[in-house]
C-alpha cells in the first residue's frame, strides 16, 4: 500500500478477466498512486498466453 493521489493510504488493483465469461485470470494489488495503465501490458500478455494454450472446445 502507498499514499494515493487523494493523500490517503490505499491500493489500485489490476483485474485481468475474460470478457465473455468474466472469469478473473489475474488480480494484482498495486500501490494507490499508480495510474490504471501502469504495468498492465505484461499481465495482459501473460493472460493471453495462458488463454491461447487452452483447448478451444470439445475434442
Q: Three-state SS across 18-49?
A: CCCCCCEEEEECCECCCCCCCCHHHHHHHHHH
Q: Which residues are CB-contacts of 9 (< 8 A; sequence separation ≥ 6)? A: 1, 2, 3, 32
**What is residue 37's predicted lDDT score, i.e. its pLDDT?**
83
**What is residue 3's predicted lDDT score, i.e. its pLDDT?**
67
Q: Which residue has the cell 478451444?
A: 56
Q: pTM of the entire structure? A: 0.62
59 residues of the chain, pLDDT tens digit each: 566 667 777 777 889 988 888 888 899 988 877 888 888 899 889 988 877 665 654 44
Amino acid at each position: 500500500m502507498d499514499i494515493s493521489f487523494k493523500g490517503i493510504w490505499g491500493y489500485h488493483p489490476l483485474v485481468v478477466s475474460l470478457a465473455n465469461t468474466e472469469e478473473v485470470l489475474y488480480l494484482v494489488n498495486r500501490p494507490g498512486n499508480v495510474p490504471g495503465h501502469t504495468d498492465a501490458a505484461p499481465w495482459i500478455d501473460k493472460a493471453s498466453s495462458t488463454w491461447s494454450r487452452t483447448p478451444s472446445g470439445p475434442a
